[in-house]
Amino acid sequence: MPVEYLKKATLTSSSGASDVKEIVSKILDDIEAGGDAAALEYAAKFDQYEGNVLLTAEEIEAACAVVPEKLKSDIRFSHDNVRRFAEAQKATVADIEYEVVPGMTVGQRAIPVDAAGCYVPGGRYSHIASAIMTVTTAKVAGCTHITACSPPRPGVGVAPAIIYAAHICGADKILAMGGVQGVAAMTFGLFGLPKANILVGPGNQFVAEAKRILFGRVGIDMIAGPTDSLVLADGSADAHIVATDLVSQAEHGYNSPVWLVTDDRALAEKVMEMVPTLIDDLPDVNRENAFAAWRDYAEVILCADREEMAATSDAYAPEHLTVQAEDLDWWLDRLTCYGSLFLGEETTVSYGDKASGTNHVLPTSGAANYTGGLSVHKYMKIVTWQRATREGSKSVAEATARISRLEGMEGHARAADVRLAKYFPDETFDLTADG
């Protein structure tokens, strides 16, 4: 029996998207050619800010001083949770060595990238948590230089709470520059910064496109689309909590999809009845975003049973996945495609977004089918090495020579031949492709 859509989206995340590639490409080309001066011109145009772009220690100290103590305490709490979780993640990757055949040893090393560029959105919302998520993980990974970049507000500069968060989490430099020009400054090493090896952090469509274009020259965490969230709920769920959670994620943006998947029609109908009232109760900007997201992108899907619910969820591969249903261990074992999973009504996506310790930079637009979110591992290169005794290289050299000749790669074969001839001059080897 096919699933039943009690509410169907009229738009998708790509609906109405403008082609920004040409605009972003031109900005990147201009800044790469024009350097600091070109970046400052774009900053004056788009950020409408002409203050100091690379914050001094005195400016950082002054900004930190105006952050309320309670907020500082909350930021430190979140930072501590994110740091400890990142440290636990890092402990899962170790340098190893292994003797594959007697005398031939291979191994791996986990080496952090040198310079990380962390983009922290600061337009409609001041993403304090993004500074915590991106800078902390880079610091735990062992990056030797971390730049935090955030758009300044006209005549004001970067939000003091973002500066405080970036500072205590370990940013070496804080750049007051937004959008493509900020991404370019970190990539090209402007204003005395080292060239970034990796760019991380969420941003608008122009930031996302800049990262897409620059990928290859630098590493990136992922190419992000609008944030999305899915709730799996059965008849045991609290409709008010389900509805509240959906609205809480819809406020991200007008095109942020939220989905409810359930096997209980009464719950679905109650949630659909409650959501508009909860949206109406939000502040103006949040209400506009949530209303549009719910109207155009939200879906409510009725399934026959929990297996069909799980299969539907895996097909959507949501960025955020919440389960408010019985037998949470079953769902944990069954579900396979999501950015981050929130089990039970006692937790919520908002916890992960802000303070529980897991990272909120996550795959969107179905990318959870093939990748996870930002973690300490994204800043680390897993590289391999090998060494051998002469006797240990013998069998490997023979196999290498024959496989290479079968492939038609004679030069590769001779690199093995010459070693066999040097190390074992009194022995004869059959190194032909059909040997």
Torsion sign, CA atoms 348, 350, 352, 357: negative
Asked if 396 and 101 count as a contact pair (C-beta separation under 8 A), the reply is yes
Please compute, for residue 46, the number of CA atoms within 13 A of its CA located in the half-sphere on the CB side. 21
Asked if 32 is an active-site residue, the reply is: no
d(CA 249, CA 286) in angstroms, rounded, equals 10
Asked if 263 and 247 count as a contact pair (C-beta separation under 8 A), the reply is no
Give Cβ neighbours of residue 276 (< 8 Å, ≥ 6 apart). Answer: 294
Asked if 319 is an active-site residue, the reply is: yes
β-pairing, 219-220 vs 145-150, is unpaired
Radius of gyration of the chain (CA): 26
* Catalytic residue selected from 145, 167, 252, 320: 320
- Tell me the three-class secondary structure of the chain, residue by residue: CCCEEEECCCCCCCCCCCCCHHHHHHHHHHHHHHHHHHHHHHHHHHHCCCCCCECCHHHHHHHHHCCCHHHHHHHHHHHHHHHHHHHHHHCCCCCEEEEEECCEEEEEEEEECCEEEEECCCCCCCCHHHHHHHHHHHHHHCCCEEEEEECCECCCECCHHHHHHHHHHCCCEEEECCHHHHHHHHHHCHHHCCCCCEEECCCCHHHHHHHHHHECCEEECCCCCCCCEEEEECCCCCHHHHHHHHHHHHCCCCCCCEEEEECCHHHHHHHHHHHHHHHHCCCHHHHHHHHHHHHHCCEEEECCCHHHHHHHHHHHCCCEEEEECCCHHHHHHHCCCCCEEEECCCCCHHHHHHCCCCCCCCCCCCHHHCCCCCCHHHHEEEEEEEEECHHHHHHHHHHHHHHHHHHCCHHHHHHHHHHHHHHCCCCCCCCCCCC
* Catalytic residue selected from 79, 251, 319, 360: 319
∠ CA 32-145-77 to the nearest 5 degrees? 120
Which residues are the active-site residues?
Answer: 319-320
